[in-house]
Chain A
């Protein structure tokens, strides 16, 4: 899948970029949430947008709008929709989703994110924060979206849940060629889980780069006010201050071996 955005001009944002399913995309920087909103096509922005070479116009917009799911920072309780099932039913009818066996679809969505189907009848307010996050992701999957945009998907999740969710997203990306976009203020999360980064600043895409390559430009990022993962910062300082010939590693075990060799 490929989205080509040309000369987009919306809410003071101006940019052009191409987003494909060959990467897991990370977005960070001041007001990155606004860019996530624009990309979720809640309304058609000024400029030219094509999805798989078909231009999005007023005529076909609604058809594409449904194929994009956004997972917000927090689960918003819909009016009078108290249980997980009621909330899911509401989304299905609101977007006129064509689903044969609704019950099965809802249960399956919960299962995918690692939740028990008994949660369907729980009131949303009684769910823990991590359960709410997973329910949000389960809801976003109901429409079989082609594009999934997630805002801080890993906050408050422990390692086990984080890995589970990341594996679901990776599978959707690698096997089903879905576009996955993760917005976050947490450099460690983005470095660990994405393959391409959009660093934003002053309502522009400031720096578009492969994740590892981008984060290894420590001075450049720091000068421009971005956080650098401590993993990268450590290696950077070892190389720069001690002239040690170690490499950057995402896996801490590889890092330890490399350090051990160079002590």
Chain B
């Protein structure tokens, strides 16, 4: 299938040196790397906030060839570090304002609102001020609003670092649901390789380039490279690679019960 997003010869400051990669349609891609490897900067470049010419192409057209507003609609960027100020007093008003921008029919607007509240688990927060709800709720509101524009691809910057472990699970499930329904592509940076294991494809940034890429399981087993970059291996991966060195097991096993069964048959 044709590539959805293509990044060619990305060079920027002292962060990236001639990086190229592609994202296929409908894929959930994570990008990881040690501290200060440029994860957030990369999202700013993809979102168009930092403009580089002849570098980022979506559906065959360079970012600079799109009208700015259109780029903001066909791509949805969320960077939690940047504070968002919501305009309305309640989550309900806030969402309904954005809904009416995209849905003409009153009945349709009502349905859309109901769907969002249910899918994003916002029932308890409808009458709350969106500027005062927990960070996770804010992120879900922003995501719901971005999705109303029916974007082709989402650029998410280390959202899971803002969430506790339960919220992380809910968020990954939400992304998977959205993806099933809309076939959207997702590019998400993460400082936690446990999160990367949930994705379809993983890129590791380091030393200004992409040092590893592939299906997450095949990437995370390169323990030497990852350790050098300061990335922590998920415990079950770490256990698997070390036991494999001792010839106790022969492959990576993420499930604890199966691992126990493999070792003590």
The interface of chain A, by Cβ under 8 A from chain B, is 74, 77, 125, 128-132, 155-162, 185-188, 227, 229-231, 233-234, 237-238, 241-242, 244, 252-253, 255-256, 259-260, 263
Contact: B264 with A188, CB < 8 Å?
no
Main secondary structure of the interface of A (DSSP, over half): helix
The interface of chain B, by Cβ under 8 A from chain A, is 34-36, 40, 81-83, 135, 158, 161-162, 164-166, 191, 227, 229-232, 235-236, 238-239, 242-243, 246, 248, 256-257, 259-260, 263-264
- Given known A-B contacts A129-B81, A234-B256, A237-B256, A159 and B230 have beta carbons under 8 A apart: yes
- C-alpha spacing A234/B236, complex, angstroms: 9
Contact: B263 with A230, CB < 8 Å?
no
Contact: B235 with A188, CB < 8 Å?
yes
Contact: A252 with B239, CB < 8 Å?
yes
- Contacts A130-B35, A131-B35, A256-B246 aside, 17 further interface pairs with beta carbons under 8 A come to A74-B135, A125-B82, A129-B40, A156-B161, A158-B230, A158-B232, A159-B227, A160-B34, A185-B164, A230-B236, A231-B235, A233-B256, A234-B235, A237-B257, A252-B239, A256-B243, A260-B248
Q: Which of A129, A130, A159, A244 contacts B264 (CB 8 A)?
A: A244
- C-alpha spacing A263/B135, complex, angstroms: 46
CB distance from B243 to the nearest CB of A (A): 6
- C-alpha spacing A43/B6, complex, angstroms: 54
Contact: B260 with A241, CB < 8 Å?
yes
Q: Which of A74, A158, A230 contacts B35 (CB 8 A)?
A: A158
Number of A-B contacts (CB under 8 A): 94
Contact: B264 with A128, CB < 8 Å?
no
Residues of B within 8 A of A242 (CB): 260, 264
CB distance from A211 to the nearest CB of B (A): 17
- C-alpha spacing A129/B238, complex, angstroms: 26
- Given known A-B contacts A129-B81, A160-B230, A161-B35, A259 and B164 have beta carbons under 8 A apart: no
- Given known A-B contacts A129-B161, A130-B35, A230-B235, A158 and B243 have beta carbons under 8 A apart: no
CB distance from A41 to the nearest CB of B (A): 24
- Given known A-B contacts A156-B158, A263-B248, A128 and B235 have beta carbons under 8 A apart: no
Contact: B191 with A156, CB < 8 Å?
yes
- C-alpha spacing A242/B263, complex, angstroms: 10
Residues of A within 8 A of B239 (CB): 234, 252, 255-256
- Given known A-B contacts A130-B35, A234-B256, A259-B243, A185 and B165 have beta carbons under 8 A apart: yes
Contact: A160 with B35, CB < 8 Å?
yes
- Given known A-B contacts A237-B260, A238-B264, A259-B263, A227 and B232 have beta carbons under 8 A apart: no
- C-alpha spacing A210/B83, complex, angstroms: 39
- C-alpha spacing A159/B230, complex, angstroms: 5
- C-alpha spacing A242/B162, complex, angstroms: 38
Contact: B238 with A128, CB < 8 Å?
no
Contact: B238 with A252, CB < 8 Å?
yes
Residues of B within 8 A of A229 (CB): 235
Residues of B within 8 A of A256 (CB): 239, 242-243, 246
Contact: B263 with A238, CB < 8 Å?
yes
**22 A-B pairs (CB sep. < 8 Å):** A74-B135, A74-B162, A125-B82, A132-B81, A155-B191, A156-B158, A156-B161, A160-B34, A160-B230, A161-B35, A185-B166, A230-B236, A233-B256, A234-B256, A241-B260, A244-B264, A252-B239, A256-B242, A256-B243, A256-B246, A263-B248, A263-B264
Contact: A234 with B230, CB < 8 Å?
no
